[in-house]
Every structure is written in structure tokens, then in C-alpha cells.
Structure 1
């Protein structure tokens, strides 16, 4: 892979993550371009960047989620690369593809990896094929009768009903009895369809008292992949993280090594 010379980066985000990316670029001698909605024109990331462009009204759908506006700014500013930060367009495969199609360096996972991991059903199947363990469950889109039978015969209770698409806790329901399962499935399907335009759901065994541990993974264009250790994200409200802590107080060296290797294998599978 030829060496890519990046001299100017568009940070396609706002707030804390935009400031951190801009700061890192500054330390590397890379010029930065910020974007902002009408509501964020006085934000810190706007003042930190070398250049800043307005991308529209406060509504994210008309600004930070508008792919055409982001690409237009990138072209007008003549940037070499785009860093999406987290949230917003960072998990949209269509945005990554649009950036790459313009000949701009995409600082993030390949579009296909975003697409696979953004669909929980595809992600589960990909991980299983790679030998990475997943929680027992059904396939998304199974008929209602098949899900009811799987709950009775294979998964057991308590279990989770989960939307295949999206995130943020939407389309999720804890079910503790057979009597409540059908209504929970139907409610989750409606919620997922409304939030993500995709009503597919699946069932998964509920692990109560579990800890939420994430491993950060970094890969380059040549496929070299490493993990940057773990962070503890167990303290949540309504499925949203409140505090992230590193290192996790429950991890020992053996478990850290095992989970780290599994995280690398998972990343290499996509």
C-alpha cells in the first residue's frame, strides 16, 4: 500500500470528539476543517479548527447527517481525508462509500465492515463463521411461530427481544415469561420499524448481571490489527452509557489477553 500523505482533514462531527480529533491533527501538523450547524457556530470545535463551514439548520438530519453537505464541504475545502468521529455519519456505510468515491481518504472502517456490523443479524453470523462466540439466539426475521418455538425449546427465559438494525436501546425488550413474549415481539417490531425503517427482530438469551466490556481495535490498510485494551461501560441508564472506565477493575491478565485476541479476530473477520 503506498504511503498516503494527509495534509488536511475534515472532521465530520461536533463537540468533544471533534475537539479531540482536531487536537490530534494539530499535534501531527495536519490542518483541519470543522463543520457546524446554525446552533453550533460558537462551539469550541469551530474555533479550534483552521477552517469552518456552516452546513445548515440545527436539525441533525439537515446538517450532521446530510451526506451531500459533508461531501460538498470536503470538495470545497480541498481536504485529503475525512474523520467521522463517532455517532452521526460514522456508522453509515453510504457516507464512507461517498467519501471514497470522491477520491478522499476515509479514516474509518471499510464500508462493508460498517454495513455488516451495523446489522446485528449479519454481525452475529459473521462472528460465528469466524469462530467468535456469540450469545445463543434466533435469526432476525424468523416467523413469529419459529421465535416462539425457539424460546420454549432452545433459549429459555428470561430472554431479550432485539431489533436487528439500529441501536441506542430502541426495539429492545426483556421478557421473563412465555405469556409476555408475543406482545413484546410485536411491540419491538413496531418500534424498530418506526425508528430504523427495519422491523426485523430476533431473540437472544438474557445474561443477567453481566458486565459491559468493550475492546478498542485498530487496523491499517494492510490488515495489521491490534487491540488497545478494554473499557468498562457497565454503568448505563436506558441502555445509554453514563461512564466509561479504563482499565476495567474486574479484568485480570488472562481474561484481558483472551478477550483481546477475540476482539482482534472479530475485527479481522470483517
Structure 2
């Protein structure tokens, strides 16, 4: 028992440290007046809209328990991808920080509009990310704006990309298997009980266990504020009809159903080996 707890804690800690900071690039656009700031923001909004990005107004419309968000927090505007295609969805996160009114009162010509671009991947920007950033810079400079400070995107590091993704894939696979095993122990017995009621053959009993494993025990992603939790499909079944879930978690849901389909049949074979037929015992 103690060895099991040590292994479990080691796995938990190893899963916690597998993370990465999304690589970022940033630049400042020079502005002189509040009117210029508004025009610059309108231009950025239009240009990002052309690339398929829209402003996220969630925080502006929210009313937290302590009241509305402070003005300094709302000065940073976030954009997310909402184009018709999904090739770049969630790849790039863009935020624009506007100078506050106090900046204009203190200085005559001082202010900048800060733009940050981050890509949701380890190992620096991808080649597509570098191209996206370069096109955005060219569009801004082509419109006559002056960039006064620029932090270039980090170079592509394929070795880091595959190292981190391999560790993440291994951690996800391990916890998926743990979740599936727990769910299968619960719902597999339910499937066996129903199979024995509805079918009188060995294959029928196995089919009941297999069906319960696929339809009820398959782990489904449940997103929360900080992480994604696995839940059995018996609870997450309504999510199958939510387009937003497939848009964000298809890369988890499809492999989950494929793996559960195969493992559930293997489990059914080992779980159901004999069945009584007319007083005789039939062995698989």
C-alpha cells in the first residue's frame, strides 16, 4: 500500500511539472493623443478582424462579486480566433494594451499601444507563427504607424516542441487509462447485469459489457478554469451534441472513443469467460 501511494504521488508531481509558457512576442505602436489611440485601436481591430480575430468582451460584461473590473484591467483588450476555418483556432492569442487617461494628462507625447502575440505551443514560434507575426507587422507599418519597441518572437525549437508534447501525451494517456479503468469497473458490471438479463449467450454477455464501456465509461473532457477533468460519458453524454466541445476537444474525444472501443472489448473477453446455458456451463 505504501509503495502504491509513493508511485501515485510521484506521478501526480510529475504531471504537475509538465507545463510550458506560451512563447510571446510584443511591440509598441507610438501614439500622441487619446484620439490617436482610439484610431490605432480601431485600425488594429479591423486588421485583426480581417485575419479572423474578434475582441473578447467577456471581462467587460462580467460583474464579479466585488463589483465591475477596474479600469486599468480593462485597458488590455484580448482577441481570439473566430474565423470560418479551424486551421489556426486557438493557435494565437493576441492582446492590445491601451494607455490610461492619466498618461495623457502627465505627458504631452509619451504613449504607446502595446500589442502582444503568443502562440499556444512549446518550443518557440512555429514557422506559421513567424509568418503570422511578420504579416501583422507589415500591415501596421504599411498603414503608416511607427513601431518604437519590438521583442521578436522566439525561434522555432523543434526538439523542445517534441519533448514537451511527448511528456504531455504520456501524462494524458496515463490519466486517461486510470479514469477509464475506474469508470469501467463501475459501468462494466452494469453492462454485464443488463447483458445477462437480455441475452442468453456468451457473446451477448460480452456485448453488454462492451456497450456499457463505450457508451457509459468512455472518459470525456470536462473543462474548468485551470484544467480539464475526465468524466464518464454517462455524465458527459449531452456534451456530444455541443459543437463547441468538438471544436475545442475533438483531439481528445475522438481518440478517447477509439481507445475505449478497443479496450472495452478486451475487458469484456477477460471479464466474461463462462455462461450457463440450460444448466450447462459454456466456456469461451
TM-score of the superposed pair, with normalisation by structure 2? 0.24
Question: Which structure is larger by alpha-carbon Rg, 1 or 2?
Answer: 2
Higher helix share: 2
Higher relative contact order (CA 8 A, sep 6+): 2
